[in-house]
Structure 1
């Protein structure tokens, strides 16, 4: 796949890779809403929270890089698959993968549905994972 994607995604990816906090925050509209459906308590509004989140990310994962694995556009909605990787200041690996659906207002995100999750090394197999999700007593 080409490194070029969608102009918005290109700007967001470049700001992330350059660790340019101002350019990254400029990708989001002032009333930006971030919905995290799998973790509703993590949802938020506003670019101040975007800035605060990314200040922490840049501080604790100083070599973070991003990759857009794929995307699709439907009107003003941009569906995108991301990978964020780097090394945390404590030396451990940082790796997140998932989907972010952006709703654009012009060239900035007005809202997003955020599905990025940390990648789990090893872990249980699919049978145990399904059982843990549907059984009250967890895996067997």
Structure 2
């Protein structure tokens, strides 16, 4: 399973093993953040070398996985401490298309964990807009 290989590479901070999980022309999308889309294994390497450098104790927990044909879903918790002492904590899901053991495309639904945000009532009110009386 590709997600388990990714988890092992993250925990080992093995950039070569990590980037080896992606096709050279890998296409990445973050559907909730359209400007973050990119193409290429090289960009994967730039992204993760920065994370490995800035979060020296970065670890990945693989919470759940599912596979259907050539698509793999994984639920993640990535965490550690940045060099400046601030926490790094992300949770979410990746959906990846797999061919010949490499990710050819990925949709990332990961967000920084919010510790003290608004509650559900305030969120629904903000999302739905003001009530019409």
> Normalising to structure 2: TM-score of the pair?
0.94
Deviation at 1:105, TM superposition (A): 0.8
Q: What secondary structure is seen at the aligned counterpart in 2 of 1:90?
A: coil
Deviation at 1:130, TM superposition (A): 1.7
Pairwise mapping of residues 49-88 of structure 1 onto structure 2 (< 5 A)?
49-88=43-82
Alignment counterpart, residue 126 of structure 1, candidates 117, 120, 127 = 120
Structure 1: 5+ residue stretches without partners:
1-6
Aligned to 1:3: none
Aligned to 2:34: 40
Residues 103-126 of structure 1, C-alpha deviations (whole Å, 9 max, x = no match): 001111000110010000021101
Where do 4+ consecutive residues of structure 1 move more than 4 Å? none
Q: Does residue 95 of structure 2 align to residue 101 of structure 1?
A: yes
> Normalising to structure 1: TM-score of the pair?
0.90
Deviation at 1:133, TM superposition (A): 2.2
Residues 33-68 of structure 1, C-alpha deviations (whole Å, 9 max, x = no match): 001100000011001110010011011111000011
- 1: CA distance, partners of 2:61 / 2:96: 16
Q: What secondary structure is seen at the aligned counterpart in 1 of 2:32?
A: coil
Aligned to 1:30: 24
